[in-house]
Structure 1
Amino acid sequence: MVLSNIRIVLVRPTHPGNVGATARAMKNMSLRSLYLVAPENYPSAQASDRAVGADDVLQGAVLCASLDEALQGCHIVVGTSARQRRIEWPALDAASCARRLVEGARLGPVALLFGQERTGLLNAELDRCHYVVTIPADKDFSSLNLACAVQILTYEIHCAMFSEPATDSSSTEGRPVSHEDMQRFYRHLEEVLQQIDFLDPENPRRLMRRLTRMFNRTAPDHNEMNILRGILTAIQTQRNKS
């Protein structure tokens, strides 16, 4: 059931035809878990027409009001981006992205995010990602059609799943941390940093974004997260005593 743990998440898609074409691309590559975050004009007959035999994927799509809702339970999140950002995310190529998702899916739910057609993923949405994947393309025309991007990366996932031997997940020291647990940690961290006057809420700059990248990159397991949260709680307790 590894592939069922890989979620393809479309964030704020505007064209129902792209949703249908995404469902078809997914079914071609043995994927079924489609999540739609705040889609425009959906459900739609146009989506069904473009699905061409993948209506079961559309019917099983999970509609979510927010990205956090779509990522519940996920311990690895990869976002797609066609452009460089001011603060860099850990980057993967398409093949490495697919291998990382397949390996992660053996342990629990993972997600691959695709942004809105006009804007791609916003920085606030990329903040939820452990990695970013970019599909190489012509430097003067690098923005791919949404469904085409889905097809390329789902093909790589299919290859990674069926061309490589399964890895032994029993050697992991602790179970992965879920998306919602990571978000709780970041809120706790920000609260403590403000309490010790390390973070000025009136002039935060990009501190929390940089810390988010760092902890996403290290991918702490459940035991390590308990240690981190314990440290933060101890700081608060000591501060309240003083």
Structure 2
Amino acid sequence: MNLDNIRIVLVNTNTPGNIGGVARAMKNMGLSRLYLVEPREYPHEEATWRAASAGDVLDSAVVTATLEEAIADCQFVVGTSARGRRIPWPLLDPRKCAERLDGVSDDQEVAILFGREDRGLKNEELQACNLHLNIPTSEDYSSLNLAMAVQVVCYELRMLLSADSLPKAEDEEWDSPFTTREQMELFYEHLEQTLIDVEFLNPTAPRQLMARLRRLYSRVRLDEMELNILRGILTETQKRIKGIR
């Protein structure tokens, strides 16, 4: 995946603030090439302040009079579409689209098109694309702000790019070894005795207290440092009880 070969193309954007929001969304995810096809108002101070620290993306944005100019040198074009079309076209969600672009963007120019805030891309604009991209949303409210839509797509591209550096499991980069079964059994013995010492547990009528506490601690995986902290608390509690007595 080469993000430098991917350009975000906004077609006839109505609100300059959305342009700034898109620039910020792009920079968050490591994309920098923004193309603006006949924006209604640009440059504009609203775009500048909405971009926050992504002013460099705005400064390098390419403004064109037509979509043809914006994508003329591209080998692969994706068009975002919020609705079904009369003529079926290859259609992917953002994650599958990112996977499709992986490799393509290594040596080819790629454009991802986003249409007008109120009506998206026209049919003839979508017909200039190799595939269409749809962001699944709730049926109760399917409207996405332009910057939000760009953020979703750029996020999936970033995730694919960063896949090799992300932990493969939740505990892959843990800072302390996890406890063994033997260590946990010693902890439960220590916990039970402490609860007896503070008279919270009646050994003659234990009911299901220890079973429930076992279930509680079994829902998480304690590491050795965490277990040492808990046992240290129990030890100090026992010392205080003995001192009082």
Q: Does the alignment pair 1:49 with 2:35?
A: no
Distance 1:141 1:81 in 2: 16
Q: How far off is 1:134 after superposition?
A: 0.7
Q: Does the alignment pair 1:147 with 2:147?
A: yes
**Root mean square deviation of aligned Cα:** 1.4
Distance 1:148 1:88 in 2: 26
Alpha-carbon contact 1:8-1:111 (below 8 Å) kept: yes
Q: Does the alignment pair 1:100 with 2:100?
A: yes
Distance 1:43 1:100 in 2: 33
Q: How far off is 1:101 after superposition?
A: 2.2
Provide the secondary structure at the position in 1 that maps to 2:112: strand
1:64-100 CA-to-partner distances (Å, cap 9, x unmatched) read 1111110021111111111111112101111111122
Alpha-carbon contact 1:93-1:135 (below 8 Å) kept: yes
Structure 1 gaps of 5+ residues are 166-242
Name the structure 2 match of 1:67: 67
Name the structure 2 match of 1:58: 58
Name the structure 2 match of 1:81: 81
Provide the secondary structure at the position in 1 that maps to 2:41: coil
Q: Does the alignment pair 1:112 with 2:128?
A: no
What TM-score results when the alignment is normalised by the length of structure 2? Answer: 0.65
Q: How far off is 1:149 after superposition?
A: 0.2
Name the structure 1 match of 2:212: none
What are the equivalent positions in structure 2 for 1:213-224 lying under 5 Å apart?
A: none
Name the structure 1 match of 2:243: none
Instruction: Return the letter of the residue paired with 1:161.
Output: L
* Percent of matched pairs sharing the same residue: 52
Distance 1:143 1:8 in 2: 20
Distance 1:139 1:151 in 2: 20
Runs (4+) of structure 1 moved beyond 4 Å?
Answer: none
Provide the secondary structure at the position in 2 that maps to 1:156: helix
Structure 2 gaps of 5+ residues are 166-245
What are the equivalent positions in structure 2 for 1:159-238 lying under 5 Å apart?
A: 159-163=159-163
Alpha-carbon contact 1:79-1:126 (below 8 Å) kept: yes
1:5-47 CA-to-partner distances (Å, cap 9, x unmatched) read 1000001101000000000000000000000000011000000
Alpha-carbon contact 1:12-1:38 (below 8 Å) kept: yes
Provide the secondary structure at the position in 1 that maps to 2:103: helix
Instruction: Return the letter of the residue paired with 1:121.
Output: L
Name the structure 2 match of 1:40: 40
Structure 1 range deviating more: 57-66 or 85-94: 85-94
Instruction: Return the letter of the residue paired with 1:57.
Output: V
Q: Which has more radius of gyration?
A: 2
Instruction: Return the letter of the residue paired with 1:91.
Output: L
Distance 2:63 2:88 in 1: 30
Name the structure 1 match of 2:25: 25
Q: How far off is 1:164 after superposition?
A: 5.3
Aligned length: 165
Provide the secondary structure at the position in 1 that maps to 2:107: coil
Instruction: Return the letter of the residue paired with 1:75.
Output: Q
